[in-house]
Amino acid sequence: MGALFAGLVSRLKTFWPMLAGIVCARTALIVACYGSYTATDDGVFTDGAMLIVCVIFAAALLALTPSRRVLSNTAVQWALVGSTLVAAAASGALSFMDNTDPALAGIAFALSVINTLALSLCMFYWLRCLRGTDEVTAALFVFGAFIVSVALVYFIAFLPLRAQNILGCVLILAQLTLVGPAALRDGLAAERAHRRARTFFTFARSHIQDARFLVACTVGMGLLSFVDGFMRGYPDGLPIAFTPPTRFAYALAAIVTCTLLAIFVVRRRERVMTVGIFVTMQALAAGALVLFGAFPFQWEIGAVLVNTLNIVICAYCWYVIIAFTNFGSRDPYFYAMGGWVVCFGVRSVARMVLHFAYPLTGNDLLINSVLGVLILLSAQVVLVQFLLAEHKENTAAAEEREAQVEIDLQHAEAEVARTQLALADAERALDSAARDAAEHEATHVAEAVAAVQKAAFEAVTAAQAQRCVHCTEGCSPERPAARDGGASASSQPAGARTAEPQSANAPAPHARSAAPIGASPLGRTRREAGIADVTAPTAAIISDPLRERVRAMGEQFLLSDREVDVLTLYALGYTQKKVAEELFITPATAHSHIKRIYGKCGMHSRQEILEYLASWGS
């Protein structure tokens, strides 16, 4: 209920100026020309004037049929201003005239025609402002307008005649104050179509160019309007005067009927404004005939339903005009004039026919039979046409669904084909990735084999070099070591042997350079402890120049013997782990030696040590 109320308030904010404007125009017309509905009508003075107005509209329709010109907003606004001023002048003149005076009857009738024409044009303007609105807003607009107008007319009827006419003039001129707000809201009503709604708007959208549909709507409305015109002067063609109770009953019945129809539309009841409203109008007409027969001398009782029927017919006429205004290609005034001719013109014809023909027959039974046949025909024509239109809508919807299913199936097949292509591409990509991975793995295996071979070669080379590193005989590639000391001594010249005692207590020159790494105290300790020194071709890779440079570097930077051993292997390219294995120390100790060597020498990398050794002597 909260959402429903919010929707009603939102729509009311949109169309309230149009609602107020059309209420003012209709109320002023009823007050000035229909005697505030103290009776069903005022005979020739009301329906006769409306008949002439509808003849004018019919002639205009015939003249405008070949043209599809659409009036501009400025033109229709000026037309409203002119119509309002003319209507106010005619209504003011009528307030000072007595239409019962035979001498003034012709002038009063002419003023009634002018007033009816001007106020009809005013109502056309307000209906035109509802272009583009949806069916719910249109139904709320027309039913709300009649609810307010009927209530106003009921209370105005209690005022003196002169006060009624003055108030009618005020209402006419009040329309001018609503033009601005209405212009600001023109086009703001966005269409909100019902889902699967079978409303007149739906049929009008689909069948507005269907001549048979238009003829059926015209005939159905015309027949009911003819019935309404007949019963407004039942049975002798004279107006039916209301008593205060029946006057109140008419106002209440009209307000309740419009309210119920509006509620059904708002609650999204399908067929309310097609089948439902026609059933309502036919029920009111049939009920009026029953009441006329049940109360043969109290015609005002049946007239309650007759005037209620007239209200519903007028509301439906406005609703149809708004629908055709939305979907038609002509100017809204064209459709409004057509609705006026069908609804009020046919009603006025029936009213005038009964007024002048009844004195010739005086047969009430004949009139009842004619009215019954007309009600039946209107029901058959309209309901059958709406059922046919609904069948066409359902058939078209089914075909559209089938077409959509076919399109969806084609899309699904295309999607399956795309998926298969994508799977094939994925398989090819997977095969390619597998081949690349195999090739990459083979490359890694080859590199690993090469690394293992290199490591094995380095291990063999290191094993071969291990003995030379710890050797104490000072051999070198340029000077092989003597295997037998005596043989070596005997092979020396005499001068050398005589010099040997001299060098017994003094170290020979280059003694340190001749001493191998294994000649350090730690090496001697190892030999004394029985640890075998590995003798291998390592001496071939530790050359005398390298020994000399390492020794000189040790002397320069005050390196210990162990640090000289570590530096020698480190300069050969051994890793810290390999140095530790060669010198039988832990990796941490080797790391500490290398760190102290860096600290003493002021260097930070193996490359700097090698560069320093390479530049020694230059």
pLDDT tens for each residue of 520-563: 443 333 333 333 333 333 444 566 777 888 888 888 888 998 89
Asked if 145 contacts 262 with a C-beta cutoff of 8 angstroms, the reply is no
Each residue's pLDDT tens digit, 18-32: 999 999 999 999 998
For residue 463, what pLDDT is reported? 58
For residue 542, what pLDDT is reported? 62
Q: Which fold has domain 2-190+197-233+241-406?
A: Growth Hormone; Chain: A; (1.20.1250)
Q: Over pLDDT 90: what percentage of the chain?
A: 23
Domain boundaries, the chain: 2-190+197-233+241-406, 461-478+511-614
Q: How far is residue 220's CA from residue 222's CA, in Å, rounded to a whole number?
A: 5
The answer, yes or no, to whether residue 238 has pLDDT greater than 90, is no
Each residue's pLDDT tens digit, 6-16: 666 777 778 88
The answer, yes or no, to whether residue 479 has pLDDT greater than 50, is no
Mean pLDDT of 398-422: 87
Band the pLDDT of 489: cuts 50, 70, 90.
Answer: very low
Each residue's pLDDT tens digit, 377-407: 666 666 666 566 666 666 766 777 888 888 9
For residue 235, say if its preceding peptide bond is cis, omega within 30 degrees of 0.
yes
**Burial class for 300, CB neighbours closer than 10 Å (0-12, 13-18, 19+):** buried
Each residue's pLDDT tens digit, 495-511: 333 333 333 333 333 33
Query: What's the token pair of residue 617?
Result: 């002597």
For residue 201, what pLDDT is reported? 60
For residue 505, what pLDDT is reported? 36
Band the pLDDT of 53: cuts 50, 70, 90.
Answer: very high
**Residue ranges of the alpha helices (H) in 504-560?**
511-514, 521-528, 544-556
Query: What's the token pair of residue 446?
Result: 């080859």
For residue 514, what pLDDT is reported? 35
Band the pLDDT of 57: cuts 50, 70, 90.
Answer: very high
The answer, yes or no, to whether residue 66 has pLDDT greater than 50, is yes
For residue 524, what pLDDT is reported? 37
Q: Looking at the whole model, is its pTM more than 0.75?
A: no
Between the ranges 194-208, 242-256, 604-618, where is the mean pLDDT highest? 242-256
Mean pLDDT of 426-451: 82
DSSP code, position 68: -
Q: Picking from 163-177, 329-343, 429-443, which range would have the lowest pLDDT averaged per residue? A: 429-443
The answer, yes or no, to whether residue 475 has pLDDT greater than 50, is no
Q: Do domains 2-190+197-233+241-406 and 461-478+511-614 have the same CATH topology?
A: no
Mean pLDDT of 342-362: 79
Q: Which residues of 512-521 are buried (b: 16+ CB within 10 A; e: fewer)?
A: bbbbbbbbbe
For 461-478+511-614, CATH number?
Answer: 1.10.10.10
Identify the helix (H) or strand (E) that includes residue 338.
helix 332-340
Band the pLDDT of 304: cuts 50, 70, 90.
Answer: very high
The answer, yes or no, to whether residue 143 has pLDDT greater than 80, is yes
Listed residue (8, 25, 158) closest to 86, CA to CA: 25
Q: Which residue did the predictor score with more confidence, 385 or 574?
A: 574
CA-to-CA separations, 85 to 89, 91, 454, 497, in angstroms, rounded: 6, 10, 115, 156
Q: Which residue did the predictor score with more confidence, 237 or 366?
A: 237
For residue 546, what pLDDT is reported? 79
Asked if 82 contacts 147 with a C-beta cutoff of 8 angstroms, the reply is no
Number of Cβ within a 10 Å radius of residue 582: 24
Listed residue (225, 224, 219, 223) closest to 347, CA to CA: 225
The answer, yes or no, to whether residue 38 has pLDDT greater than 80, is yes
Mean confidence (pLDDT) of the chain? 77
For residue 501, what pLDDT is reported? 35
Band the pLDDT of 115: cuts 50, 70, 90.
Answer: very high
For residue 498, what pLDDT is reported? 33
For residue 97, what pLDDT is reported? 75
Q: List Cβ<8 Å contacts ≥24 apart for 572-578.
A: 572/465, 572/541, 572/542, 572/546, 573/606, 574/462, 578/462
